[in-house]
A and B are shown apart, each in its own frame.
Chain A
Amino acid sequence: MFENVVFSIGKLIDGIFHAAGTCTLINKQNLLVTAAHVVNGSNENLFIRISNNYESGYQDTTIQQFPLVPVKIEAIDPLRDLCILSLQGNGSAQSYVKLGSADNVNSGEAVTVIGFPHSNLGRIVLTQQTCEVGAKILLSSQGIKSKHLVLNIQARPGQSGGPVIRISDGTLIGILIGAYVPTIKGGISLGGIDPQTLHQTTHAVSAGYLERML
């Protein structure tokens, strides 16, 4: 259902696609939204991967060749961790996904989170999760506060930039940005995994900040 709307985004390096996160085609011509940290401020070798591996509803994980479409940063807000991209090339596309805001959702409401968990490991599978909004919070970046959602679900690398869809009306109300971690120094990594991220407290920034970036 979302395979023509939600895409893996990453860098093409030496002919190999390195997934960096998730992005969503919205209801504006050729525009996609993601998290700013996914693109790291750079357009270089930035592509989305088109899903052409669906067979009777199943994603064929043995297919390794995918069409790639270049994208370009149109607007970016690193403090709120939001980015708007445009499709490059001759194609033209848009989806039905409308932008909403975290203002429109209440704690306890059901939302759908879509993305590509574990795509940093090469497993690029479009995955849909359903959870509740655990809380609405203000988080600070460089002293500037922004509206965020706490999602009652565990997310993994590759889901950054993914859409949080309000089930009741289908609007995109948030962009997944990461897991809660206390700001402490000297953390550890086990097999490339930060144990502090292994819990069901995932942060998403309100999509309400995107409208003024269009």
Chain B
Amino acid sequence: MQDLNLFSDQKESSWLEALPSYQKEIVSELLDSKSHEEAALAWLEASVDNTSPFTGQPQPEKKYLPLLKKEIHKLLCGNPEYATDRNELAQLTQTKENKTAIVSMVSAVIGAKVGLAATFIAPAIVIIFMMIAKTSLNAWCALETSEN
């Protein structure tokens, strides 16, 4: 398994810098009052209070967070399905100040897998990375495996 040096020497909040400013501001505001898990859910499942949307299509039930966590676990924790992507990610981690490139790459890979736009899931990816950075990748891989 390719060793990923993603979360060493990085403050968890430094991952926010990988987002465009408008997303960074919203995620920061969400994290002021919510846990990481709650903030990720808030982004992915947002709806405006007291407003019934007038879309022409039924709104699907959004269960995106478990799906994203599952795919990130596969990507970062050694699932052979993502071996090529993990190698590419390892190359990206060789250079410093590359969080934007890392989040873009992970969002694109996982977005393509789950059928969601990279720019939509990027804030959730960042929040999940912040959760991992609070512990360690090995601990998160072990914990999430037992929870899945």
Q: Which A positions have Cβ atoms within 8 angstroms of B?
A: 10-11, 18-21, 35-44, 72-79, 81, 116, 119-120, 139-144, 146, 148, 155-161, 176-183, 194, 196-197, 202-203, 205, 209, 212-213
**With A76-B120, A79-B26, A141-B48: A37-B21 Cβ-Cβ less than 8 Å:** no
Q: How far is the CB of A211 from chain B (nearest CB, A)?
A: 10
In the complex, which residues of chain A have a beta carbon less than 8 angstroms from the beta carbon of B66? none
Total number of B residues with any Cβ neighbor in A under 8 Å: 33
In the complex, which residues of chain A have a beta carbon less than 8 angstroms from the beta carbon of B146? none
In the complex, which residues of chain B have a beta carbon less than 8 angstroms from the beta carbon of A156? 54
Q: How far is the CB of B51 from chain A (nearest CB, A)?
A: 4
**A37 and B117: CB pair below 8 A?**
no
Which residue from A43, A140, A203 sits with its C-beta under 8 Å from B117?
A: A43
**A78 and B59: CB pair below 8 A?**
no
Main SS at interface, chain A? mixed
**A183 and B50: CB pair below 8 A?**
yes
User: CB-nearest residue of chain B relative to A179?
Assistant: B52
In the complex, which residues of chain A have a beta carbon less than 8 angstroms from the beta carbon of B1? none
**A10 and B46: CB pair below 8 A?**
no
**With A20-B56, A157-B55: A182-B121 Cβ-Cβ less than 8 Å:** no
In the complex, which residues of chain A have a beta carbon less than 8 angstroms from the beta carbon of B57? 10-11, 18-20, 40, 120
Q: How far is the CB of A101 from chain B (nearest CB, A)?
A: 15
**B26 and A73: CB pair below 8 A?**
no
Q: Which B positions have Cβ atoms within 8 angstroms of A?
A: 20-23, 26, 29-30, 33-34, 42-44, 46-57, 59-60, 64, 115-117, 119-121
In the complex, which residues of chain A have a beta carbon less than 8 angstroms from the beta carbon of B64? 41
**With A177-B54, A182-B50, A213-B22: A144-B30 Cβ-Cβ less than 8 Å:** yes
Complex: how many Å from CA A197 to CA B20? Answer: 35
Which residue from A37, A77, A177, A180 sits with its C-beta under 8 Å from B26?
A: A77
**B20 and A19: CB pair below 8 A?**
no
**A194 and B48: CB pair below 8 A?**
no
User: CB-nearest residue of chain A relative to B25?
Assistant: A212
Complex: how many Å from CA A163 to CA B64? Answer: 29
In the complex, which residues of chain B have a beta carbon less than 8 angstroms from the beta carbon of A79? 26, 42-43, 46
**A41 and B54: CB pair below 8 A?**
no
In the complex, which residues of chain A have a beta carbon less than 8 angstroms from the beta carbon of B34? 142-143
In the complex, which residues of chain B have a beta carbon less than 8 angstroms from the beta carbon of A161? 55
User: CB-nearest residue of chain B relative to A117?
Assistant: B54
Mind listing 18 A-B residue pairs with CB under 8 Å?
A11-B57, A18-B56, A19-B57, A35-B55, A41-B117, A74-B119, A78-B46, A78-B120, A155-B54, A157-B56, A158-B55, A160-B55, A161-B55, A178-B53, A179-B52, A181-B50, A209-B22, A212-B22
Complex: how many Å from CA A78 to CA B54? Answer: 15
**A76 and B119: CB pair below 8 A?**
yes
Which of B33, B115, B121 has the most A CB atoms < 10 Å from its CB?
B115
**B59 and A37: CB pair below 8 A?**
yes
Q: How far is the CB of A39 from chain B (nearest CB, A)?
A: 8
User: CB-nearest residue of chain B relative to A72?
Assistant: B117
**With A40-B59, A79-B43: A73-B120 Cβ-Cβ less than 8 Å:** yes
